[in-house]
Amino acid sequence: MKQILDRFISYVKIHTTSDPEKEQCPSSSRQFDLANKLVDELKELGLEEVEIDEHAYVMATLAANTDKILPTIGFIAHMDTSPDYNGAHVNPQIITNYDGKDIPLNKEKTLSIQYFPEILNYKGETIITTDGESLLGADDKAGITAIVSAMEYLINHPEIKHGRIRIGFTPDEEIGRGADLFNVEKFKADWAYTIDGGGVGELEYENFNAAGAKINIKGKSVHPGYAFNKMINASLIASEIVAALPKDETPATTEGYEGFYHLTKISGDVSHAHLEFIIRDHNMEIFNKRKKIIEDLCQSLNEKYKENLIELQIEDQYYNMKKKIEPVKYIVDYAEKAMLEANIKPLIKPIRGGTDGAQLSFKGLPCPNIFTGGHNFHGPYEYIPLESLVKATEVIVNLCKIIEQEEKVVKEDL
């Protein structure tokens, strides 16, 4: 456990926040700091084919130690942290033998059991938190930690037989670009697992269909004293758009399979206003209807004001990987078995978001998602129980072992 803890702490202390305003990949050059560290570490551990490309994608191989002809499986995690909150100067706090009480992070912030009651599930365990000044970065440095630690364990325990294993670490997942330049052909895996989920037991092979909408509004600025029948206030039109969307279909009012409209940015004055939304739904038909609602709304307002004042851009971002996973559902079954062998009850549920695995599944690499153990990602209340991170590592080891033991799963059957 100490080795896993030390590895995790060393990763989260490296600032890797991605930058949605930059077009290059990686969007922030600081992601190379972690990527290069991982390359050195993987080589030192004895992995083969350790490579990093010009975009900071890291790949490596753990060679098979069995005579069986087996599929190649992969494990993938992302190196960047979310730009939603400060990711610099991460200073983790370690609470051993957690007593079930509130955890003060600093003078202003407290990890409260009233607000975050699920932390009580980890009473008696070692909890890693922030100091309230940054996010922690368990999303997804916990995933990286689990993968590297599992590879190290397999290397040190050659009695555990396994097929060829590929690992990959990606940049810019948090800004939706993690899989954009991932070379599936070079990775050469039959399927993979992203290690990028939340609490213990989470196993996901469904995610949102996702789109982003940008709305630019042109107004007409006239002196307010002479504005009658002349002024068109762009900010008021923006408020009309927001008010016209269902108030009970936001991230804060939906759960499970329920989709939403999420206003992520708003700015403006009389002359110009700008709105940005993300649109999400698990059901493709409803997803397309959501996009149409925004299109129709913008068109109706242009008709109302008798001018093309509103310009709308909608772009699809990723799709529900369920379509690609269901034909090879046995890869999810293996993950279930690996959890049960670790005395974990699998919690199969839809992802209310997306992972690199969603895009990779549509690029030909089926890729369900497995837990890391972390909670409250993207903010100062993020934490992870060390024991949960150890369990994530154990599940990866179990997966490699179980697949090797399943003699029916040979290359010719795929």
The one-letter amino acid at 90: V
The pairing of beta strand 110-111 with beta strand 103-104: antiparallel
Band of residue 414 on the pLDDT scale cut at 50, 70, 90: very low
Average pLDDT, the chain: 95
> 284-309, pLDDT tens digit by residue?
999 999 999 999 999 999 999 999 99
| Backbone dihedral angles phi then psi of residue 3, each to the nearest 5 degrees | -65, -40
With residue 286 as reference, give the H or E element that holds it. helix 284-305
CA distance 106 to 169: 32
Average pLDDT value for residue range 203-228: 95
> 160-171, pLDDT tens digit by residue?
999 999 999 999
Average pLDDT value for residue range 349-361: 88
Q: What is the pLDDT of residue 324?
A: 95
| Cβ–Cβ < 8 Å for 188, 266 | no
CA distance 21 to 41: 31
The CA distances from residue 74 to 71, 89, 101, in Å, are: 10, 31, 39
Higher pLDDT, 353 or 381: 381
Q: What is the CATH number of domain 2-206+320-413?
A: 3.40.630.10
Band of residue 176 on the pLDDT scale cut at 50, 70, 90: confident
Q: How many CB atoms lie within 10 A of CB 248?
A: 9
DSSP 392: H
Please count the CA atoms within 13 angstroms of the CA of 151 that sit on its side-chain side.
Answer: 28
Peptide bond between residue 158 and the one before it cis (omega within 30 degrees of 0): no
Q: What is the pLDDT of residue 413?
A: 45
| Cβ–Cβ < 8 Å for 140, 373 | no
β-strand partners of 149 = none
CA distance 210 to 26: 22
Plot region of 137 (φ>0 → left; ψ -120 to 50 → alpha; else → beta):
left
Q: What is the CATH number of domain 209-318?
A: 3.30.70.360
Band of residue 242 on the pLDDT scale cut at 50, 70, 90: very high
| Cβ–Cβ < 8 Å for 182, 367 | no
Residue ranges of alpha helices (H) inside 51-112 are none
> 50-99, pLDDT tens digit by residue?
999 999 999 999 999 999 999 999 999 999 999 999 999 999 999 999 99
User: DSSP string spanning 110-158?
Assistant: EE-TTT-GGGGGGTTS-EEE--SSS---HHHHHHHHHHHHHHHHHHH-T
CA distance 388 to 380: 19
Catalytic residues: 80, 173
Whether the predicted pLDDT of 109 surpasses 60: yes
Domain ranges of the chain: 2-206+320-413, 209-318
Q: Lowest mean pLDDT of 41-45, 195-199, 407-411, name the range.
A: 407-411
> Among residues of the chain, what percentage have pLDDT more than 90?
93
**2-206+320-413 shares its CATH topology with 209-318:** no
Average pLDDT value for residue range 181-205: 96
> 138-159, pLDDT tens digit by residue?
999 999 999 999 999 999 999 9
Q: What is the pLDDT of residue 407?
A: 55
Band of residue 251 on the pLDDT scale cut at 50, 70, 90: very high
Residues 6+ apart with CB under 8 A from 212: 276, 277, 278, 279, 314, 315, 317
| Cβ–Cβ < 8 Å for 162, 66 | yes
Q: Lowest mean pLDDT of 15-19, 202-206, 316-320, 385-389, name the range.
A: 316-320
